[in-house]
Structure 1
Amino acid sequence: MTDTQRLNYLRVALVLTGITAIGLYPLMIVWPDGWVWHTGHSEYPLMIVGMYATLGVFLIFAALNPLAHLSLIWFAVWSSVVHGGIMAIQVLMNAPYRGHLLGDVPALLLAALVLGLLTPRGDKARFLRE
């Protein structure tokens, strides 16, 4: 894959990840067992929706010029790994949350994997910016 193709795939991945993050609320409504951690009266879901919608908007903006937004992309990668990893452990310790192994846990880890594989790093990133 050429550098140009890789950047184009990264742009697509950033937009798709951004749209998914912005669309978190509908996912929570349609499939709560895979996307909602708190039920009943809780402010937690709204907080998560707000955080991920904001990240989603910035990831879409980053797709316009990914090389100028590498720190944001790497934040999205590593925060997704950490968040998905913590949730996976919580799921394994709490049987009622098993639906998350098919919902938000793999979604976060997949997004991290795709963005991480497509994002240039080190000398390659510096070379492409010049």
Structure 2
Amino acid sequence: MKDEALEKVRFGRGQKFRLSSKGNEAVSAYTLMVEKARAGSGRAQFDAARSDWSGPRGLSSEDGLYLVEFGVGERTLSELTRNLEDCASSKEVKAAVERLLECGMLEPVSVPVPPPAQPRRYW
């Protein structure tokens, strides 16, 4: 069981996240699952297909929504929250990103360190 006493890693506001190779595979499988479910007989079949997709990957059935958003490109938490404001609260988005980071579907984008400023010379 996860130890709640461990301090969670905190990311800055501008921190972007992207899909890992494992996440790209999950998005491809999710997209294929959605296409197959459209040919089905309704919501119950879609929910069952989502469960079949998420179970072996150790994901929640709602995680496909978040992964598809990251499939479009790198996103910050605030961008993701804004894009999904009709579907999920900011608390749900943050919990999903933490869960996807933990299982290796997402990875933080490293920010390049700017070179040191050149000293000014006054002749």
**Considering only CA atoms, is the larger Rg found in Structure 1 or Structure 2?**
2
Q: Into which bin does the TM-score normalised by the smaller protein fall?
A: 0.3 to 0.5
Q: Which has the higher strand share?
A: 2
Larger helix percent: 1
TM-score, length-scaled by structure 1: 0.31
TM-score, normalised relative to structure 2:
0.32
Quick one: higher RCO (CA 8 Å, sep 6+), 1 or 2? 2
